[in-house]
């Protein structure tokens, strides 16, 4: 019996030693696993802060068409009319929903960020359907834009605002003014009032007469009158008998990099080829001409683009040279040395066909934001850096990348790394984003 008791005690002691050994082994294993997890986490964070900028494929933008021709096939009607002809349409724009919460002081500019992660930069028109309520966007920058336009009209006049004397073209310019005079009081009733002869801006105390083509009794070009009403620049293209669309009416007061006097009277193709738009003939021209031919008054569309600018001048980018310098462009700009003057210049363009005259109207609204301000937004510095790196040599030249890429990318990379260190979930931010925000 004593012998048996000894064996049991011995077994209990061995069991306790085994349990202690197993516990120690599990502790060591857990420590090793934790160390591996820490190493992997550090590596992942480093990868997020650097490699993704160049290697990660961009997310799909469900609202953005990848092909202009496909968009036309899906959303527009085939045009059976002879080139250069137009039968007035009975279409009437739906009444706009009043924007009751709109405020001249509190409604901030919309934060358009229409750039995407690399490694590939898409060259498309990027058309999306437009809701009629959203035709014209106004915000708290209105008075600044209005004053800048008024100054430009006084200084440059017909060099910025012109309408071809062709009766159909002039009728289309008047039609646009009438459309704005109808839409604005509906959409922004706190700022515009409809009158028997046109519309009154109750903030600026300007009375527009669409019959006599006057503002406060002073007669002006109809495109110039339209430009005074809104923050957008405006252009109207008309089809001629050769099937080409020509720029024959415009109010281009805040262009940044181009001049109406250089492009007026040109065809759609000439405007783009003279401006060295990358891969226009290979990827854009056929689809764009198809779209213009087939767009109907009932189907307005919208698109966005963006540029980088090395100064804070909304109307004309002074960093590329004087607006009166025939050769002004990125080739005449100095290389940037600091990020403080860099701005993101986004354009939101709407396109619609006027039902009476058949002209195709562009509204071109520019949104202007300092890079240092934009870089405070979550996920945006890294995404913009990736987009800039994704530009091919042709796109980079068109957008002037060599003039600012060093200071811009160093700054954006640093801000992105800071955001990742503060817990930015790069994958989550990109998956949650919708174009063009």
Note the pLDDT tens digit of each residue in 357-412. Answer: 999 999 999 999 999 999 999 999 999 999 999 999 999 999 999 999 999 999 99
Separation of alpha carbons 286 and 254, rounded Å? 28
Q: Give pLDDT, residue 75.
A: 59
Q: Cα–Cα distances in Å, from 300 out to 88, 127, 265, 351, 361?
A: 17, 10, 24, 6, 10
Separation of alpha carbons 8 and 378, rounded Å? 67
Q: Taking all residues of the chain, what is their mean pLDDT, rounded to a whole number?
A: 86
Q: Give pLDDT, residue 57.
A: 37
Give the angle subtended at the CA of 391 by the CAs of 385 and 392, to the nearest 5°.
150
Q: Give pLDDT, residue 64.
A: 42
For residue 161, the SS3 value is strand
Q: What is the pLDDT of residues 179-210, one digit of tens each?
A: 999 999 999 999 999 999 999 999 999 999 99
Under 8 Å CB-to-CB from 148, ≥6 apart: which residues?
253, 254, 314, 315
* Residue 244 or 65, more confident: 244
* Residue 150 or 14, more confident: 150
Separation of alpha carbons 309 and 329, rounded Å? 12
CB 152 within 8 A of CB 253: yes
Q: Give pLDDT, residue 79.
A: 67
Answer whether residue 263 shows pLDDT above 80: yes
Q: Give domain limits for the chain.
A: 80-432
Res. 78 pLDDT band, cuts 50 70 90: low
* Residue 406 or 2, more confident: 406
What percent of the chain clears pLDDT 90, i.e. is strictly above it? 71
Q: Give pLDDT, residue 286.
A: 80
Answer whether residue 4 shows pLDDT above 50: no
Q: Point out the least confidently predicted range of 120-124, 215-219, 408-412.
A: 120-124
For residue 245, the SS3 value is strand
- Strand duo 343-353 + 301-309: pairing: antiparallel
Answer whether residue 352 shows pLDDT above 80: yes
Q: What is the pLDDT of residues 32-77, one digit of tens each?
A: 444 444 434 444 444 444 443 343 333 334 334 445 555 555 556 6
Q: Give pLDDT, residue 211.
A: 98
């Amino acid at each position: 019996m004593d012998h048996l008791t000894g064996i049991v005690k011995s077994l209990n002691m061995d069991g306790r030693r085994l349990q202690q050994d197993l516990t120690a082994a599990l502790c060591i294993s857990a420590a090793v696993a934790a160390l591996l997890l820490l190493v992997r986490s550090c590596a992942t964070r480093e990868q997020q802060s650097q490699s993704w900028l160049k290697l990660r494929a961009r997310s799909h933008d469900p609202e953005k068409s990848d092909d202009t021709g496909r968009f036309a096939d899906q959303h527009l009607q085939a045009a059976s009319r002879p080139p250069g002809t137009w039968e007035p349409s009975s279409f009437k724009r739906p009444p706009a929903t009043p924007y009751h919460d709109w405020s001249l002081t509190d409604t901030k500019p919309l934060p358009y960020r229409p750039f995407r992660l690399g490694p590939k930069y898409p060259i498309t028109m990027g058309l999306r359907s437009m809701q009629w309520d959203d035709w014209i966007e106004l915000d708290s920058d209105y008075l600044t834009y209005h004053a800048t336009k008024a100054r430009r009209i006084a200084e440059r006049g017909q060099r910025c605002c012109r309408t071809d004397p062709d009766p159909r073209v002039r009728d289309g310019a008047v039609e646009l003014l009438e459309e704005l005079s109808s839409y604005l009081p509906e959409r922004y009733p706190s700022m515009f009032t409809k009158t028997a002869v046109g519309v009154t801006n109750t903030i600026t105390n300007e009375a527009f007469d669409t019959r006599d083509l006057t503002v406060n009794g002073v007669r002006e070009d109809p495109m110039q009158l339209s430009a005074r009403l809104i923050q957008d620049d405006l252009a109207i293209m008309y089809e001629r008998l050769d099937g080409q669309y020509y720029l024959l009416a415009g109010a281009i007061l805040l262009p940044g990099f181009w001049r109406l006097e250089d492009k007026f009277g040109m065809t759609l193709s000439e405007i783009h080829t003279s401006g060295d738009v990358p891969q226009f003939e290979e990827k854009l021209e056929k689809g764009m001409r198809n779209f213009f031919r087939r767009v109907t008054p009932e189907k307005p569309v919208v698109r966005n683009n963006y540029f980088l600018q090395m100064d804070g001048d909304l109307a004309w980018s002074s960093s590329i040279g004087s607006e009166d310098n025939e050769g002004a462009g990125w080739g005449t700009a100095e290389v940037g040395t600091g990020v403080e003057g860099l701005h993101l210049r986004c354009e939101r363009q709407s396109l619609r066909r006027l039902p009476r005259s058949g002209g195709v109207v562009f509204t071109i609204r520019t949104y202007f934001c300092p890079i240092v301000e934009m870089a405070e937004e979550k996920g945006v510095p890294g995404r913009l850096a990736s987009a800039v790196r994704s530009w091919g040599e042709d796109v980079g030249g068109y957008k002037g990348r060599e003039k600012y890429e060093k200071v811009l990318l160093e700054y954006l990379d640093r801000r992105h790394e800071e955001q990742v260190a503060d817990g930015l979930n790069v994958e989550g931010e990109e998956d949650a984003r919708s174009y063009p925000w």
